[in-house]
Structure 1
Amino acid sequence: MAPEPTVTVIGESLVDIIRDPHGQTESQAHPGGSPLNVAVGAARLDLRTNLVTHYSEDPYGLMIEAHLQANGVDVINGGTAPTSTALATLGPDGGAEYTFSITWEINGASLPAFAAFEGSTHVHTGSIATVLTPGDQATLALVESAREHATVSFDPNCRPAISPDTAAARQAAEVFVAASDVVKASDEDLCWLYPDRTADQTMEAWLALGPAVVALTRGASGPVILSRNARVEMAAEAIVVADTVGAGDSFMAGLISGLAQLDALGSGGRTRLDSLALDELEALAAYANRAAAITCSRPGADPPRTDELGPLFRT
């Protein structure tokens, strides 16, 4: 029997302050950050999960810590700066525009993170942690060291307000794509990074850099998953949208959980990952699609649990 998969996520934790621009509801503060959301999503899907991050012992940091503990995420906290925040203003379609006050540095986490990697089956990173100095280079070093023991996934989750230089963000993204086995991005990410080519062209180009699987989320249009063997496209699930906060992160957590169920994680799972069949990719896309839909159906980054999502292959 294979050992239980362990996922280690590297990236920012912050507090989302969600504001209704029409003033119909009061502003609300919730723990957030794309990597934190992925870690919580993975833990809720019964994967042992570590998060390499930073936050302070201020009120927002204590809110983050309580949230992670309540969801069973083990924390490696390597920073000393004040806890980061993101002011999210919701639009009429439930989407969010962000204004950030954020620092990313994990100098105090390197040694315990390396130790965590030795027991990890999979490592995920992305978003601000891969573009914001000084922590971006530490993140890359950790990811590159992890490949000996684990498969790696990456989601650029682009934030132009944090990294407005498109060329620099594109270069950073391609470095992490080349270091990864699984990559997920949104259509908005790819449109901003590569305005002169189609999403399909970028997916093909990223696949050529080395990953086995490239996934694209397209909001209401549904996801696309591309491998060297097959391409899967499906519509989004029909739901009433509360908001889209954390939907992409739930999709990513669903991908990781689905690949764990396919025994396609870990350095020993790369051969399996490289040879996923069409029906397996279809099940994987549907599973992650379902996870995102559940999150969109309720306010905030509230990813599903195993009993809500069900198994990868439904009978």
Structure 2
Amino acid sequence: MTSPASHVLVIGECVADIIRTDGAPDRVHPGGSPANVAYGLARLGRRATLLTELGPDANGRLIRAHLESAGVRVRAAEVERTPTAVVRLDGQGRAEYAFDIGWTLPSAAGEPDGFAEEPAAVHLGSIGAVTEPGAAAVLALVERWRGRAEISYDPNVRPALMGERTEAVRRVERCVALSDLVKASDEDLAWLYPGERPDAVAERWLALGPAVVAVTLGAGGAFARSAAGERVGAAAVPVTVADTVGAGDSFMAALLHTRATGADLTTCLSHAVTAAALTVSRPGANPPSAAELEAALTDGRESYSDAGAG
């Protein structure tokens, strides 16, 4: 268990999300699942460093400024151009992605001796954890930090980039086995393991080594299982959805942050689903600040108390 004041190293891609809806001009938002997690952690008051790649272009400058505005320390290898994703939103705000992305993180970029401060936690996920040639450098780095830092992982599956399913499952399960905490969505699991129940997959992943596996269920809330036998769930917080961009990343950031305080699994899950709800209530990957999350949790507790008294 880490301290809430401790340093978190997040490893993975930055992506410029080009939000496209019919009849409206394109909007560009800073994105990329690991970048969103780092930003979400910093918004919650954690000290976070993002090890990533950025191009020397307008999108790269936009993303760096966005991350640094929240206090994220950006450590970026330079690439020719910043990756992009065209994000198409349907009538319910659900997102579909078309990527233009590579991941070539050089192994020297993440040498542990190059960090001024040793992280208490390391988070990896999405494209950067499974896309070669950069994924090899990411996993080598995680292997070196394992045992010295708590490892967390979110597969954040992008089917168009995952290749053949059997090999994708092998890569994902390798990351699961390296991790102490894993989060996935029901959509991730449905692509990786067609026809299998999310709770069955969670139990099988626990057997690979993590202490906790959490699964988000969209409007169905979330559940978590632990190696110690805990089985907890949390209902989704009702909100009007602007779009779903970044919801899972906000969930992950709040889960990591709350877990670091020593809170029990039920509390961690409650904070995570509330953070996700705040994010989907506004456009783009815009996770809550610590004050916003606390206010929403307080409102929820008061609403529950009022309902109980009625």
> What's the TM-score once normalised by structure 1's chain length?
0.90
Greater mean deviation of Cα atoms: 229-238 or 172-181: 229-238
Aligned-pair identity in percent equals: 48
Could you report, residue by residue, the CA deviation over 1:88-109 in whole angstroms, capped at 9, with x for unpaired residues? 0001221111001001122175
Aligned to 1:214: 213
CA 1:151–1:195 in 2, change beyond 3 Å: closer, same or farther?
same
* 1:179 partner amino acid: L
What amino acid maps onto 2:233 in structure 1?
E
Structure 2 counterpart SS, 1:145: helix
Runs of 5+ consecutive residues of structure 2 not aligned to the other structure: 302-310
**1:77–1:109 Cα contact (<8 Å) kept:** no
**Which residue number corresponds to residue 275 of structure 1?**
none
Is 1:305 aligned to residue 262 of structure 2?
Answer: no
Task: Say yes or no: does 1:296 pair with 2:280.
Answer: yes
Contact (CA 8 Å) 1:16, 1:29: kept in 2 or not? yes
* Moved segments of 4+, more than 2 Å: 108-118, 311-315
1:182 is aligned to: 181
Structure 2 residue aligned with 1:98: 97
Q: CA offsets per residue over residues 69-92 of structure 1, 9 Å max, x none?
A: 111110111242311000000012
1:149-194 alpha-carbon deviations (Å, 9 max, x no partner): 2100000000011113111111111000000000000000000000
Spell out, residue by residue over 1:42-77, the C-alpha distance to the aligned partner (whole angstroms, 9 max, x if none).
000100000000011111111111111111110111
Which amino acid is 1:293 matched to? A
Do the aligned residues in 1 keep the contact of 2:185 with 2:217 (CA within 8 Å)?
yes
**2:221, 2:234 within 8 Å by CA — same for their partners in 1?**
yes
Partner of 1:153: 152
Q: Contact between 2:56 and 2:80, CA under 8 Å: does it hold in 1? A: no
3-state secondary structure, aligned to 1:299: coil
- 1:122-142 deviation per Cα after TM superposition (whole angstroms, max 9, x unaligned): 000100001211101111111
Aligned with 1:161: secondary structure? helix
Tell whether the 8 Å contact from 1:8 to 1:116 is kept in structure 2 after alignment. no
Contact 1:236 1:293 in 2 (8 A): yes
Q: TM-score, normalised by structure 2?
A: 0.91
> Alignment length, in residue pairs?
296
Q: Check whether the contact 2:110–2:141 (CA below 8 A) recurs between aligned residues.
A: no
Question: What amino acid is aligned across from residue 174 of structure 1 in structure 2?
Answer: E
1:121 maps to amino acid: A
Letter in 2 for 1:206: W
Alpha-carbon displacement from aligned partner over 1:204-244 (angstroms, at most 9, x marks no partner): 00000000000000100000011132111121001111111
